[in-house]
Amino acid sequence: MKSKIIITALILFVGVLIFQTISPENTIPTAVADTTDVNPNGSSEMSKLMRDMQKYTTDAKSDIKAGKSPASYPAEFDKVHTAKISDGVSMSEFYKQFADLYVMAVKNYASSTPATRVETYNNMVASCLACHSQHCPGPVPAIRKMTIKE
Ligand code: HEC
């Protein structure tokens, strides 16, 4: 199985591309601005959550190398749907699907067996990249490096 998540991610990529092509204007709405955030660059609730997600992923990579079992799914990751994002950062209509895909991928990794561990880990990284291809492209090179070469 190589793999449902990658296929879903690809469908989303293509869907977004088609949508952007046929969209008469650039209608992607900007997120509701959090005007109380005095330091929007990197201090939003979403940015903090992202750093936790990034840490979970780098820890997962070293766990795999050390032959350790995965850490369980952190319930706070559910906030990827609702956390406030920085001023001026926009969310596409597809944000929710990308977030669902990510949550599912982390759960699959957290419940993986040794035989599926690397594959489910890489699917998790692919789901970060899928969302980042549409939102916040800055961290993409760093996320790409998290992939484990099989
Ligand atoms: C559902 C969409 C989505 C997924 C999945 C996602 N991201 Fe993000 N990421 C974002 C958005 C949106 C921002 C911008 C947040 C802001 O500025 O408020 C962001 C910001 C970041 C940042 C910058 C944080 C900072 O310091 O400002 C990093 C690093 C990051 N993501 C890494 C990751 C990693 C690693 C994964 C997978 C483990 C991941 N992201 C999964 C949407 C996503």
Give the pLDDT confidence score for residue 150 in this predicted structure: 78
State pLDDT tens for residues 78-134.
999 999 999 988 899 999 999 999 999 999 999 999 999 999 999 999 999 999 999
Which residue minimizes the CA distance to atom 35 of ligand 1?
Answer: 54
| Dihedral-angle region of residue 143 (phi above 0 means left; psi in -120 to 50 means alpha; beta otherwise) | alpha
- For every residue of 106-120, DSSP letters joined together read HHHHHT--GGGHHHH
Q: Which of 41, 50, 120 to mutate to test the pocket of ligand 1 (most atoms within 8 A of CB)?
A: 50
User: What is the pTM assigned to this prediction?
Assistant: 0.81
Mutate to test the pocket of ligand 1, among 136, 140, 144, 147 (most ligand atoms within 8 A of CB): 136
Q: What pLDDT shows up at residue 19?
A: 59
Over residues 45-84, the pLDDT tens digits come to 999 999 999 999 999 999 999 999 999 999 999 999 999 9
